[in-house]
A and B are shown apart, each in its own frame.
Chain A
Amino acid sequence: MGGSGSRLSKELLVEYQDLTFLTKQEILLAHRWFCELLPQEHRSVEESLQARVSLEQILSLPELKRLIALHRAAVKIAMQSAWPSACNTANPFKERICRVFSTSPTRDSLSFEDFLDLLSVFSDTATPDIKSHYAFRIFDFDDDGTLNREDLSQLVNCLTGEGEDTRLSASEMKQLIDNILEESDIDRDGTINLSEFQHVISRSPDFASSFKIVL
């Protein structure tokens, strides 16, 4: 497509292909999207690999999409159908996802490689193991390595919607979390660690199909 003009070098492409679960087309597509987010003058390959896109920028993408759509009809088709939902406003975990995949010290921006990582984990072919690992890290809101009661209640709030009227009541929440711990906390230490989490996930075949972002 004419927009980015520049293409990734062949060696780099092969390396990305070997190290992620993405295909060549998907990597190129991802690169094109990433370049769309950068200012016009920084769209060369080298710069696009160095650049970071802040969380706000990614989150503001729907507006960006519309803007681009006005200018170029060709891009419109690709963009409308294809920008991954992880960074879409519809996903309640979008901030967590961006935090988990970010490699910058402040954890608020994504480089192109982080972006590829994200797409790779959410792709069709990624192993259930790596999917559940990242799911665990996404749900671990305080980054302490286990899911404790606060993490769980935050998770449930994300699922049911954050608003006052949509939340579960305090007693319901307590009962729910008690039940969850009862079911999945095998060693009874009050928190759910990674192996326990993966054990729960392995019982739900639907997880692999729902923990997925279609390119």
Chain B
Amino acid sequence: MSRSLAFVLNVPETPQDPEDSQEPSPYDESEVHDSFHQLIQEQSRWVAEEGLELQQRVLGAGALGASGSDRQALLGPEGAPVYSTATLRILASMPSRTIGRSRGAIISQYYSRTVRLRRRAGWPQLRDVGRSARPSLRLYDLELDPVVLEEEEKRGLLVKELQGLTVAQRDHMLRGMPLSLAEKRCLREESRPPRGKRRVRGRHGLLSCCSRLRDSCILASHNLGLALLSGLQALMPWHYALKRIGGQFGSSVLSYFLFLKTLLAFNTLLLLPLLAFIVAVQAAFPPAPSGSTPAFRGLELLTGGGCFTHTVMYYGYYSNVTLNQPCASPLDGGQCTPAAGGLPYNMPLAYLFTVGVAFFITCITLVYSMSRSFGESYRVGSTSGVHAVTVFCSWDYKVTQKWASRLQHDNIRTQLKELLAEGQLWQRPRRACGRLQQGAVLGLVWLLCLGTTLVCALAVYTFSELVIQQSRVSAERDWALLALPLVVCLLNLGAPYLFRVLAVLERHDSPVLEVYVAICRNLILKVVILGILCYHWLGRRVGTLKDQCWEDFVGQELYRLMVMDFIFTLLDTLLGELVWRLISEKRSQRKGKPEFDIAGNVLELIYGQTLTWLGVLFSPLLPAMQIIKLLFLFYVKKTSLMANCQAPRRPWKASHMSTVFISLLCFPSFLGAAVFLCYAIWQVKPSSICGPFRTLDTMYEAGKVWVRQLEEAGPGVSWLPWIHRYLVESAFPIYLASALLLAVIYLNIQVVKGQRKVICLLKEQLSNEGEDKIFLINKLQRIYERKERSRCVGYLGEEENLSLLRKEKKEMKELCAGGKVELGVSHALSLLSATPVFLFLNIYLFYLFFGCVGS
């Protein structure tokens, strides 16, 4: 190693240092030129030697080739023109073809990657060590001449490069190499830096000590991470259940269960702060019991009323007093600032802040997961490539069952046939009459669907009015309370079936469109019904429940809806799918089970989650109920799926759909719930006999009162009122934030636009290069033919070879660059989906404005 160091010191540094980019400068070009020259010389010598015995055969074909060569040149891209052996040999040794095959090419490819990595990571002491292995430009372009350098030599270079990396980087590099494990172990063993020598070399003693310390730190953290990961894996619930589902039904059905798991995580995230800062504290300091609690009768499980009313379940139970404990009391870290040592636990404030913070955390997580999912599933510039993607990516390696794989064979076959038929369909336009007819049917079906939605909405509205009148006349009984949720659930259950029947009438061309249309209709129905219910609670009920705790009532109402929804889902799953299977089995003799309706089921989940988010303020334990419900649902759905259903026959883009699902969860569901809660907090007067805000005009007043108290308390925390006055109450910072966000979004859009343009240009360039390549290959072929005829080696062939290989090299670079740009764009695009935050902010602003005006 020291020897090579001494050697390298003589190498002039100037051509290397200024260029940090990966494109070779003109200087490099000449180097490359030389290397090619050498390569081509060797190549042609080799061909001349090896090709002797082949010449007889080729000569035989030459008679044919002479007439065929012109045809080949014209034949161009389509078809597979027949080239002579010599040409084929050259083609086979082109870098683009060797990477996928030979070990040497892989090694040299990863060698150049390592070099690039090391150049980028510029720790000074590493650079000093690395100079010994610093590549000359000739080596840098090593990937281009796999024939010249022996594999061993390349290996040596790779090992040297690997030595220059840190331990973690080296392991990372090795892990990603497509080599066999034995090979990797060898490389690792060899590239272990000779520590003793380095230490002797003296002046970097301290530095190398540091780097070793850092190395061992990295190693330790790496090991810790691995241990944690494996621990997590052991804890991962449902691993085998999910594996079985994936093995039998493929990724599409699996996406439903994964979505369910995601919802479970969201609810846990929501529940934990509520449990810690509200429920546990209140349970530790229970208020004085108000009267006798009614006995448990069983019906309360459905209605959520009765003996549940005065428990931590509901808003009304929480006290509006300051729990007079010093800061040392448990679980109040959130509100205990060090400046005010003995600050007591202010229950209303805790209630408001905890709900707000929990919602905010959910919002951030939701937006983050949405943006990630967007980044994964949408790539800029990815045009159609259905056939290739279908063939290359559609086999699901998770499938283990034999019958499942047979099903997959069938699905892929139908999908391919449909694709081919579709291609033919596009070619012949449909008749105007048929199009008109289809348009009419489409309009009619949409009209019917919207009409149904309207009728459902009217039914819910009139029924809710009826319930209010009934409750005025007579005291409410438990059974009467269940009527409204029952009606809502019945409509929610029945209407989608009607939509499905109607959807049979309109025959959509693409199955994806069919799914989106179904989702759209169901979504409209659910949004409208929930909107009317919200109006019913906040607009009408608040007025009629003057002497009662309306928050409790709303909480109970949501609880009832949720329980009913659960029961109906169970019934639908157990009876609906079972009956459906029995009917379909009886009617058609061949074995036909109903398909698992992924979209419908996911919408059910989203609906249930919306109910939970709506009710969090009024019933802090509602997420816990939702968690229990989801757990049950998982097992029920799984059992029913195994027994009654089969995987959907239609092609299903799982990742696109999960992106759509998570966006739906974010946009109408979460945002709607947030608007509802904001309205309740800023605008509605809380009931005066119960709950933490019973003396205030609005819930938001609790914050204001607290700030006022702080102002009076003294100058110690004067920054808090200041923040409140200038940042929360004045609208300016929100305008500023909105403007900033808008600017960022605008910039991102522009960046995406620019990158799209670059991608287009690169594509055009690539296709030009491809044409050039064909042209050159044909030229080459003709030259070989001429050569065979004259049996002498001409210099012209070399020139052609040279330019051919240069083209090839350029093309490789372009392809790499294209890939990189595409990746970058997807990242940029993912930022765009920060829009919901922006919307959220605007809504916040809107209500703040209202609040200011109101007060």
A binds B: yes
The residues of A with any CB-CB pair to B shorter than 8 Å are 14-21, 23-26, 81, 85-86, 88-93, 101, 103, 113-114, 116-117, 120, 122, 127, 129-130, 133-137, 139-140, 143-146, 148-149, 152, 155-156, 159-161, 166, 168, 172, 175-176, 178-180, 183-184, 186-191, 193-207, 209-214
Q: Is B779 an interface residue (CB 8 A)?
A: no
Q: Mark B388-428, 1 if CB is under 8 A from A, else 0.
A: 11011111111111101110011011001101100100000
Chain B residue with the shortest CB-CB distance to A121? B178
User: Is B233 among interface residues, defined by CB-CB distance under 8 A?
Assistant: yes
Which partner residue on chain A sits nearest B772 by CB separation?
A: A187
A146 and B80 alpha carbons, distance in the complex (Å): 14
CB of A41 to closest CB in B, whole Å: 25
Chain B nearest CB from A105 CB (Å) reads: 13
Residues of A within 8 A of B305 (CB): none
Shortest Cβ gap from A135 to chain B (Å): 7
- CB-nearest residue of chain B to A182: B387
Inter-chain contact B379/A203, CB cutoff 8 Å = yes
Q: A189 touches which one: B101, B223, B234, B773 (CB < 8 A)?
A: B773
Contact of B244 (CB < 8 Å), options: A81, A89, A183, A207? A81
- B125 to chain A: closest CB distance in Å? 23
Are the CB atoms of B413 and A168 closer together than 8 Å? yes
What does DSSP make chain A's interface, helix, strand, loop or mixed? helix
Q: Give complex CA distance A204, B808 in Å.
A: 26
**In the complex, are the beta carbons of B767 and A188 less than 8 A apart?**
yes
- A200 with B413: CB separation less than 8 A: no
Residues of B close to A24: CB separation below 8 A: 226-227, 230
Q: Are B397 and A210 closer than 8 Å at their CB atoms?
A: yes
**Residue in B77, B79, B416 whose CB lies within 8 Å of A176:** B416
Partner of A103, one of B174, B180, B388: B180
* A190 CA / B97 CA spacing, docked (Å): 12
Complex: chain B residue closest to A85, CB-CB: B400
On chain A, the residues within 8 Å of B766 by CB distance are 186-187
9 contacts between A and B (CB under 8 A): A20-B175, A90-B405, A113-B180, A137-B178, A145-B97, A179-B388, A188-B76, A210-B393, A213-B398
Q: Are B96 and A205 in contact (CB under 8 A)?
A: no
What is the distance, in angstroms, from B197's C-beta to the closest C-beta of chain A?
Answer: 23
Contacts of A19 in B (CB 8 A): 171, 174-175, 181, 184-185, 188
CA distance A19 to B823 in the complex (A): 26
- Inter-chain CA distance A23–B233, complex, in Å, is 9
CA of A186 to CA of B99, assembled, Å? 17
Chain B residues with CB under 8 A of A14: 223
Does B385 contact A203, Cβ atoms closer than 8 Å?
yes
Q: Point out the residue from A18, A120, A135, A200 that lies within 8 Å of B171, measured CB to CB.
A: A18
Q: Do B391 and A127 touch (CB < 8 A)?
A: no
CB atoms of A210 and B395 under 8 A apart: yes
What residues of B have a CB within 8 angstroms of the CB of A21 in the complex? 175
Residues B397 and A85 in contact, CB atoms below 8 Å apart: yes
Contact B80 A187 (CB under 8 A): no
Bound complex: CA A146 to CA B397 (Å): 22
In whole Å, how far is B828's beta carbon from the nearest beta carbon of chain A? 16
Q: Are B767 and A186 in contact (CB under 8 A)?
A: yes
From 647 to 676 in chain B, residues with beta carbon under 8 angstroms from any chain A beta carbon are: 653-656
B392 engages A93 (CB within 8 Å):
no
Contacts A25-B233, A187-B773 given; indicate if A195 touches B171 (C-beta within 8 A). no
**How far, in whole Å, are A156 and B181 apart by their CA atoms in the complex?**
31
Given contacts A17-B226, A18-B171, A144-B101, contact A200 B389 (CB under 8 A): yes
Minimum CB distance partner of B77 in chain A: A188
Q: Are B176 and A127 in contact (CB under 8 A)?
A: yes
* Interface check B240, CB cutoff 8 A: yes
In the assembled complex, how far is the CB of residue B840 from the closest CB belonging to chain A, in whole angstroms? 27
Neighbouring B residues of A88 by C-beta, 8 Å: 400
A145/B379 in contact, CB under 8 A: no
Q: Mark B69-82, 1 if CB is under 8 A from A, else 0.
A: 00000001111110
CA distance A207 to B76 in the complex (A): 32
Q: Mark B374-386, 1 if CB is under 8 A from A, else 0.
A: 0011010010111
Are B412 and A91 closer than 8 Å at their CB atoms?
Answer: no
Q: A113-B181, A186-B767 are in contact. Are A195 and B395 (CB under 8 A)?
A: no
Q: Kindly list chain A residues whose C-beta atoms are within 8 Å of the C-beta of B815.
A: 186, 195-196, 199
Are A130 and B233 interface neighbours, CB within 8 A? Answer: no
Q: Which residue of B lies closest to A198 (CB)?
A: B819
Interface residues of B in 228-255 (CB under 8 A from A): 229-230, 233-234, 239-240, 242-244, 246-247, 251
Cβ of A149 and Cβ of B388 under 8 Å apart? no
B386: nearest residue on chain A (CB-CB)? Answer: A183
**Contact call B393/A201, Cβ cutoff below 8 A:** yes
Asked if B711 lies at the interface with its beta carbon under 8 angstroms from chain A, I say: no
Q: Please name the residue on chain B nearest to A162 by beta carbon.
A: B409
**A179 touching B423 in the complex, CB below 8 Å, given contacts A23-B229, A194-B99, A200-B389:** yes
List the A side residues contacting B387 at CB < 8 Å: 176, 179-180, 183
B809: shortest Cβ distance to chain A, in Å? 12
Q: A159 contacts which chain B residues (CB < 8 A)?
A: 391, 394-395, 409, 412-413, 416
Residue of B nearest to A115 (CB): B181
- Tell whether, in the assembled complex, residue B654 and residue A184 are in contact, meaning their CB atoms are under 8 Å apart: no
Given contacts A159-B395, A206-B654, A206-B655, contact A23 B101 (CB under 8 A): no
What's the nearest-Cβ distance from chain B to residue A29, in Å?
A: 11
Closest 10 pairs between A and B when the two form their complex, measured CB to CB: A145-B101, A187-B770, A90-B405, A194-B100, A188-B77, A113-B181, A23-B230, A161-B409, A85-B400, A179-B387
Query: Does B771 count as interface, using CB distance less than 8 angstroms?
Result: yes
A23-B230, A24-B230, A200-B385 given; A140·B100 CB < 8 A: yes
* A133 and B405 contact, CB distance less than 8 A: no
Of B182, B656, B769, B822, the residue contacting A113 (CB under 8 A) is B182
Docked complex Cα distance between A17 and B185 (Å): 11
Q: Is B392 touching A91 in the complex (CB atoms < 8 A)? A: no
Find the B residue at minimum CB distance from A90: B405
- Please indicate the chain B residues that have their CB under 8 angstroms from the CB of A127 in the complex: 176
Inside 8 A of B80's CB, which chain A residues have their CB?
Answer: 148-149, 190
**Whole-angstrom distance between the alpha carbons of A24 and B226 in the complex?**
8
Contact in complex: B655, A209 (CB < 8 Å) = yes
Tell whether, in the assembled complex, residue B178 and residue A134 are in contact, meaning their CB atoms are under 8 Å apart: yes
Which of chain B's residues have a CB closer than 8 A to the CB of A113?
180-182
User: Are A161 and B406 in touch, CB under 8 angstroms?
Assistant: yes
CA A25 to CA B389, docked complex, whole Å? 34
Name A160's contact: one of B243, B386, B416, B816 (CB within 8 Å): B416
Q: Which residues of B contact A160 (CB under 8 A)?
A: 409, 412-413, 416
Q: Are A197 and B181 in contact (CB under 8 A)?
A: no
Task: List 5 extra interface pairs beyond A24-B230, A211-B393, CB under 8 A.
Answer: A139-B392, A149-B80, A160-B416, A189-B91, A203-B389
CB distance from A69 to the nearest CB of B (A): 16
Partner of A117, one of B181, B244, B389, B419: B181
**Does B397 contact A155, Cβ atoms closer than 8 Å?**
no
Residue of chain B at shortest CB distance from A197: B392
Q: Does any Cβ of A come within 8 Å of B356's Cβ?
A: no
- With an 8 A cutoff between CB atoms, is B68 at the interface? no
B417 A145 Cβ-Cβ under 8 A: no
Partner of B392, one of A86, A135, A144: A135
Determine which residue in A26, A92, A183 has the highest number of CB atoms from chain B within 10 A of its CB, and name it: A183
Determine the chain A residues whose CB is within 8 A of the CB of B402 once the complex forms.
89-90
A160–B406 alpha-carbon span in the complex (Å): 9
Q: Name the one of A136, A155, A205 contacting B376, with C-beta atoms under 8 angstroms.
A: A205
Contacts of B656 in A (CB 8 A): 205
Q: Which residues of B contact A189 (CB under 8 A)?
A: 91, 770, 773-774, 777
Q: Does the CB pair A199–B818 fall under 8 Å?
A: yes
| Contact between B234 and A25, CB atoms less than 8 A apart | yes
Please determine whether B178 and A130 come into contact, CB atoms closer than 8 angstroms: yes
Residues of B within 8 A of A200 (CB): 385, 388-389, 392
Contact at B181–A146, with CB atoms within 8 Å? no
| CB <8 Å contact, B376 and A114 | no
In-complex Cβ contact of B385 among A90, A184, A188, A194 (8 A): A184
Query: Taking the nearest CB of chain B, how far is it from the CB of A158, in angstroms?
Result: 8
B399 close to A85 (CB less than 8 A): yes
A210 touches B188 (CB 8 A): no
